[in-house]
Amino acid sequence: MVPMWQRGLCASGAVFLGCLLWAACSGDAYVDVEQEPLCDSTADCQLKLNGTQCIDGRCRCPDPEEARCCEPGAREEEGDSCKRECRPISECNAILCKTAEDCPKPADLRCGEAVCEAEVCRLAVRERFPNQRAGDCVTLRCDEAGRVVAEVDDRDVFNDGNECTIDACVQGVSVHRPRAAGNAEEGSGYCDGEGHLVGCLRDEDCGTPSYACSTSGTCVLEWCDNGIFDDASGETARDCGGRCQPCRAGQPCAADSDCIEGVCGSDMLCKETSCRDRIQNGAETDVDCGAPSCPACAASRRCDAHESCQSGVCADGTCRRPTCEDGVMNGNEPGIDCGANCPTACPLFISDEET
């Protein structure tokens, strides 16, 4: 219930220092209280409701953005002496106060705080929303009511740490396009045109006639690419194992190093990748974690996407620990960067833009 002295009052519409007028109608008895009397002319209206004009046969404020209400600083108990007149609706809807405790809080407490200035409730909104999730192609801001609003930001690009992809945001969606086949721009190696960094693309990339470029993009001894099972040379299967490129799952092996996934089973066959084989293989970003079929990785382990990490935060190829400013609900937070050990209390509700 709004106190009697807070109702039906106007306040200055000035906005300064990032403080916005709190426009929350209090059910004021003096705002548009009178019915719009019938009229034949504006002269009739001056006798009935001062400041109005005869519009469409009714006494109305000439500006549709205005309503009849008390002048700034007036109190309801002053009755008609408050000089009701046509004023901006935003001023008519203002709530007066004695302290900030008399004012409604913002919809999301991370957006700012309610303040009482010159006995008028205002909302001090943060110029920059502090809890941004880096690299999600979205920027969050606070609107005039203190709600969090998400806006597409194609400049907020996530770096997947792969020099053979081109990272970008397209209409708010993170994409990673393969670079064209050729020399990698950073470090040594080549991009195979499918987003993978390889050791070679052609035999001549290996630098000596005794080596050839295998189908997997690694430089191997020439006889490792002759289509013959050279067991005398250490191959465990045709053109793989030993000093040649690793073998695929299901092919014979003599050691873990003979297999692409790094696991030679007790049956002496290369095994498929597993989230429990204690080796980083398959799509894993670190040992037994980070792949879509594996658990997310703990802090300090390698990653190539936010989803690869338990905290939901991957930066510069490493999973980060939860913080109260990372824009993600993680750790023991009951909401995004609020509650628990965070300095900000959680909002009463989560806006649609955050869900």
C-alpha triplet 310, 291, 240: angle, nearest 5°: 150
pTM exceeding the 0.85 threshold for the entire prediction: no
Query: What's the CA gap between 44 and 48, in Å, rounded?
Result: 7
| Burial of 193 from C-beta contacts in 10 A (0-12 / 13-18 / 19+) | middle
Tell me what pLDDT residue 4 has: 32
Tell me what pLDDT residue 120 has: 82
pLDDT tens for 82-114 read 677 888 887 787 788 899 999 988 888 888 899
Measured between alpha carbons, how far is residue 274 from residues 261, 283, 288, 292, 317 in Å? 9, 10, 7, 12, 22
How many helices (H) and strands (E) the chain has is answered by 2, 18
Supply the DSSP string of 60-127, one letter for each residue: E-SSTTEEEEPPBT--GGGGGGG--EEEEHHHHT--B-SSGGGSPPPSSGGGEEEEEETTEEEEEE-S
Contact 237, 229 (CB under 8 A): yes
Give me the amino acid identity at 119.
E
Tell me what pLDDT residue 72 has: 58
Segments of the chain with pLDDT less than 70: 1-35, 71-82, 187, 347-355
Strand partners, 309: 297
Helix extents (H) in the chain: 42-48, 89-92
Tell me what pLDDT residue 350 has: 44
